[in-house]
Each structure stands twice: as C-alpha cells, then as structure tokens.
Structure 1
Amino acid sequence: MSNPATPADNQLHTLLDLHVQHELAGFETDTFINWVQQESGPLFEWFKTTNLKQWVTPEQIKQIIHRNVVEQEIPGAIAEIAGEAATRLFTSEKHRNTQLNEVITAHQFEEFVDKLLELEQQRIDGLDHIIDLPIYGDLISSVVYQAITRYIYESNVLTKKVPGVSSVLKMSRAVVNKTAPKLGGAVEESVKRYITNNLDFILEQSKSFLEFSITEEQLKASAMDLWDIYEHKTLGEIQQGMDSIDLSEFVVLGYEFWLRYRTTEHFKDNYELIVDYLFETYADENLSTLLEDFMITPERLLTEVEHIAPLALNTLKESGQLEGLIRRRLESFYCSEVATSALQ
C-alpha cells in the first residue's frame, strides 16, 4: 500500500507541471529562433577561441570512421533503394529530355580537354600500354592483312603493267583461287608471315606516329568535333541501348565493390592520412581559422534553423514527444529527496 501524497508532494508535482509548460513555451517557433539568435553569437565567439584538439583527437576520429564506415553492417535496403532511385531518375522524362549541353557547357568540356592534354606523359604511357595489348596487335594484324591482300588481288601494279592481267585480278579472290588454286594460299601465307615478322616494327611505328605525328591541336579538334556531335543530343539518346536493369546491376556492382574496398589497407591509409592532415593543419589553430575556411558563420547556421525549426518543432509538439522528453528530464529532480527536503 503506497503512502498518501503529502502537501510537499503535491507542491512538487505542481512545480513540475509549471516548469514543463515553461520549457515548452520556449520551443514556440518565434521564441526558439529568438533564443538561438541571442545565444549563438556569444557561443560562436567563444567557440572560435578554442582549438580542434580541445574537442576531439585524431585517434577518436579514426575510430569513429572505422566503427561506422568499416565495421558497421550496411543494410541491403540501401543498395535496393539506391538502385530503385537510380532507375527512377534514369527513366524520368525530365532526365531523358535533358540535352547534354544543359548539364555541361562547351566551355567546361573544353577546359577538361585542355587539362587532359596537359598530362602529356600520362597520355603517352596510356597509348603505349594500349598498343602493347594483344588485342591491339590482333587488330593491326587484321587491318594490315586485309589491306595487303586486297591490294594484291585488286590493285596490284601488275594490273597496270601486264596486258590481260588486270581483267583477271579484278574478278575477285574466289575466281583467282579457282583458276590458280595454289596462288591464293601462297599469297595468304606470305602475307601472314610478313606481318608476323614485322609486327613489332609496325607496333613501334604506331607508337611513334601517335606520339609525334598527332599534335595536341589535332587531339583537341577531334574532341571538340565529338562534342559538336553530342552536345544537342538528349541524355535519353546518349544512354540508348542501356536499360534500367543494366543501371541496377551497376549499382549492385558498386555496392559490392564498396563492401570490399572499405576493408582494404588502401582505404584505411587514405582516411587516416586525411585525418592526420586535418589535424596538422588546424589542431593548434583557433577554430576561427577552420570555420572561416569552411565559411561557417552564425548567420548561415541561423538561416538553416529558421528553415528547419518550424516544421520540426510543430511535429515534436503535436506528437507529444517534446513534452514527454522535457517531463522525463525534469521529474527526476522534482521526485528526488533533494527537492523534497528543500521544499520542506
């Protein structure tokens, strides 16, 4: 059987209700924004006199990243939502009807091209690696073989020098093989042997040609010609042949890549290097330097509060969550022996 409430208990309960209502009144939109405006200035000025290492250490930041980015399980729903959102964007009329030059201007594209052309060594190395690929050698061999055999069968000098040969060679390779079966095979074998013996030379000439004969002006002109072809095309036309299923599969591949990459030493080294750099730059400086560099001001913060606060506060009040939060926070004091003793 519980003890009956004493006059002191009733008074404490009344004071709790009054205190809760007082605090709730402070969360009326205008009152709350005025309070933020009055308090943010002095708090911000004091905050700028502190430095980064007074608030957090590099190791703490690294541990936060490790816990939340590396160790934390990523819900499969994230990949699903990302895929569905990408599909929604990919198939939207606005997206499909947007022209490429509405996304990037000709001037911006030209600046990218200019910057890429400045990377001369990377361009040369990249072309060399491409030429060294077996598929490029196969391509060149096929092109040279087709060109030589076509020349032999259709445009050989003999067609111009020896009467009667022209009409025979122009018939086609099939006719030549029919009239002289061994000739066609011998020609093909000779051509293939010639290409095999000279492929390294041909590839080196390819490198030399691409490195010294094609100028930056020619490359830029080609890039801008490509821009002229695509700038007025819509994104729907450019992405033709790629459907929403392909896009979803790319999202899944990216998600699976991230799951693995975040556990690698490379990722760990990267985020630790960035954190260390941040602290090397700002640890001993007043936070005013960091705030100025990131353009964080009381005015900017207040602008965001004014945009977000009205709806957020109204939702919290109408749901009763705000009152419950305040009441739970205060009643631990009003129900304590300290409060009862003080009132008595």
Structure 2
Amino acid sequence: MPDPAPPADCIAARALDAHVAWILDRAADGPALDAWLVDTVDTLLAHAETLTLAEAVSCEQVTETALRYAADLPLTGGIPELIGAVARALRDQPALADACIGDLVPDDAIRTFIAKISELHGLRAGAVAELHRSDAVRGLVATLCLHALRGWIGEAAGRAGRLGALGQRLPATVRDAFDLILARAAEQAGDGAAGLPEYLLRHIDDHALQDALETFWDRLAEMPVAPLREGLGDDDIEDFAALAYGYWQSLRDHPTYRAMIARGVDAVFERYGDTPLRALLVDLGVDRAMMLHEARHYAPSVLAVLHDRGILEAIVRAQLAPFYASDAFAGAVGGGTATTR
C-alpha cells in the first residue's frame, strides 16, 4: 500500500504538521483543553434537546448489546478468582472490626421494607397455601417433633433415675414399639401443624406482623460483624465464589433470563423512546455540571499520559495524514493531484 503521508517538502506536509501541533496544543492541560471540554459538552447537550432516544438508537440495537454482554459474552475462569479476591478484601476491611450489621444496612430502608411486606396479604396467603399442601413441610415438622419428644422423655427419664435404668432393661421389642408410638405421634403433630400457618394468618394482623419483624431486625442490627467474618475462611469464600460463578453461568443460558432482559429494554423504550436525550439525562440525575466534572476529572490525566508517550500524536497523525495526502486536499488548495487517494 502507498504511504498515506504527503511528501515532506509540499504544502500538505506542512499543513499536516501544523494541524497535528494545533490539536496537541489544545489537548494539553490548561485553558485551551478546558474550553474544548466545555464547548463539547454544551454542543452535545444542545443537540440532546431535540434528539430522542429512539432516533439515536433502536430498541433492537440496545437489546442485542444487552444480550451480548449479559448473556453471550464468554466468561473466563479468572472471574471466580477475582470475585474471591474482592470478597476477601471486603472481609478483611479494618472498618468492619467494630461494626454491627445495622451499620451496614440503612435502618429506615429496612423498616420501610418491613412495612411493605406486612401489607402483602395476597403473597402471604399464597405462601400459606403452598405450606399447607407441602408434604415436605409436614415431614420437617414431624421430624422436629420426634426429636423433641425423644429429648423430653430422655431428660425426664434421666431425672427419674431408676426409671431411666428400668427403661434400658426393657425388651427391644417394647422399646421399638415405644419408638413407633412416638413416631406416629410426631407424624400426627406434623399433619396438624400444617394448618398452623393458616391459623396464624387469620389471627395475626398487619401491625402484629410488622412489630414481630421489626423486633427481629432490632436484634439482628445489634449483632457485631466481626464474629461473622471470623467464621468465614478463605476456602469458604472461594467455594461461594465458585458457586456464584456456576449459578451465573447456568442462569445466562436460560431462555427466561434472555426474555427478561429483552422485556426490560422494551420497557425503557416504552417510557423514554420519544423523550429528548436531555430530558432523559435529567431523569437519570445527570446534568451539565456532573458531565463537566467527570470530563475535567479524567481527560487531562489521560491525555497527558498519551501525549508524553507519543501515543496521542501518532493517533492524530494517523487520522489526518490520509486527508492531506489525498486528491481532496490537493483540489481544495488548487495544487493539482496528490500522490494517493
């Protein structure tokens, strides 16, 4: 391929050098760069007054991008290690040494959440119905009752002394029969307890439930974090990271997950598709001052590094050189035809 740079002794080469130098000077940290940043932000915002979200990008494009990164992007094996490293760093954070759970979770938010839960009558009724129909719940209650009965009888026998010794001398068939009676009693207790949630649902009102949940939260909020993190070893964190990674991998492949992403994008466009981008930014809490602050925060340091290493000049020159070596430039200055197009 021909060299896109114009001959060094022609006007195109001098114009290219001057243009590159002008851009680099404006990119240097100082009044020129700040003025360029302000002008760029203001120009973008001026166009954002009339350009809508749907005009700038389609719902299909956003959905495709969201699925590409949320569902289709290959996840490397280094991600669990990164998750584990971050989790260990958070666990070992010195600020947690004297913290309680209530210091990490906003109290007002929890109480508001509890109040809302107390109002969800339909959700509570549905949960109770599932518990009532669940054989697993009955089995769990029966198991707990059986252990409780055995423990209570064992304690009573121990207190009785000789009665306990007498029980040990009973024939095995009698003891087996007694165990069978206990198991049957526990099973009946489980069947009866299955209706307990429904009974509670009828007799506990919203305020009582809210008070119970808030009492539980009050106790939980006072629990110190230190003992909890001391019981969480490095191996535990690595195991949790691997489990989370595996769950995320399987979730990404599920059609329902992809459908939810697509529906979420649709909802955004239904609400903001015909909204000017400036109004959308305002709704999202992004204003001119914030945009300028972030531009001034990052641009000078990034451009300075690129400038010092010659990267910025190479990028600018590579972008401009083909034009100054083209027939378009030669025709514009009336100098005939350049060596390349």
TM-score, normalised via structure 2 length: 0.80
Q: Structure 1 residues 128 and 332, CA, compared in 2 at 3 Å: closer, same or farther? A: same
Q: Which runs of 5+ in 1 are unaligned?
A: 1-5, 156-167
Q: Which residue of 2 aligns with 1:174?
A: 165
Q: Structure 1 residues 223 and 238, CA, compared in 2 at 3 Å: closer, same or farther? A: farther
What whole-Å deviation, never above 9, does each CA across 1:227-278 have from its counterpart, x for those lacking one? Answer: 3433333322234432232122212211222222122211111111112122
Corresponding residue pairs, total: 327
Paired AA for residue 12 in structure 2? L
Q: Which residue of 1 aligns with 2:86?
A: 85
2:243 paired with 1:246: no
What whole-Å deviation, never above 9, does each CA across 1:123-181 have from its counterpart, x for those lacking one? Answer: 343355456343653443552685499579959xxxxxxxxxxxx97743432564798
Task: Indicate if the aligned counterparts of 1:8 and 1:340 stay in contact, CA closer than 8 A.
Answer: no
Give the 3-state SS of the residue equivalent to 1:304 in structure 2: helix
Q: Structure 1 residues 154 and 200, CA, compared in 2 at 3 Å: closer, same or farther? A: closer
Counterparts in 2 of 1:1-150, with a 5 A limit?
9-29=9-29, 30-130=31-131, 132-134=134-136, 136-140=138-142, 142-143=144-145, 146-147=148-149
Q: Give 1:302 shift.
A: 0.7
Task: Indicate if the aligned counterparts of 2:49 and 2:278 stay in contact, CA closer than 8 A.
Answer: yes
CA distance in 2: counterparts of 1:216 and 1:15, whole angstroms: 78
Q: Structure 1 residues 282 and 205, CA, compared in 2 at 3 Å: closer, same or farther? A: closer
2:287 paired with 1:297: yes
Q: Give 1:200 shift.
A: 6.2
Q: Structure 1 residues 269 and 27, CA, compared in 2 at 3 Å: closer, same or farther? A: same
CA distance in 2: counterparts of 1:181 and 1:274, whole angstroms: 65
Q: Which runs of 5+ in 2 are unaligned?
A: 1-5, 337-341
Q: Give 1:113 shift.
A: 2.1
Counterparts in 2 of 1:268-287, with a 5 A limit?
268-287=258-277
Q: Structure 1 residues 264 and 18, CA, compared in 2 at 3 Å: closer, same or farther? A: same
Q: Give 1:295 shift.
A: 2.6
Give the 3-state SS of the residue equivalent to 1:9 in structure 2: coil
Give the 3-state SS of the residue equivalent to 1:233 in structure 2: coil
Task: Indicate if the aligned counterparts of 1:27 and 1:313 stay in contact, CA closer than 8 A.
Answer: yes
Paired AA for residue 275 in structure 1? V
Q: Give 1:95 shift.
A: 2.9
What whole-Å deviation, never above 9, does each CA across 1:204-242 have from its counterpart, x for those lacking one? Answer: 442344323455444444433433433333322234432
Q: Structure 1 residues 242 and 70, CA, compared in 2 at 3 Å: closer, same or farther? A: same
Paired AA for residue 326 in structure 1? V
Deviates more, 1:50-59 or 1:108-117: 108-117
Q: Structure 1 residues 133 and 112, CA, compared in 2 at 3 Å: closer, same or farther? A: farther
What whole-Å deviation, never above 9, does each CA across 1:3-41 have from its counterpart, x for those lacking one? Answer: xxx998344323222221111111122312212213432
What whole-Å deviation, never above 9, does each CA across 1:277-297 have from its counterpart, x for those lacking one? Answer: 222222233333322211332
CA distance in 1: counterparts of 2:249 and 2:73, whole angstroms: 10
Q: Give 1:318 shift.
A: 0.8
CA distance in 2: counterparts of 1:96 and 1:262, whole angstroms: 36
Task: Indicate if the aligned counterparts of 1:153 and 1:170 stay in contact, CA closer than 8 A.
Answer: no
CA distance in 2: counterparts of 1:31 and 1:281, whole angstroms: 39
Q: Structure 1 residues 238 and 40, CA, compared in 2 at 3 Å: closer, same or farther? A: same
TM-score, normalised via structure 1 length: 0.80
Paired AA for residue 134 in structure 1? A
What fraction of aligned residue pairs are identical, expressed as a percent?
Answer: 21
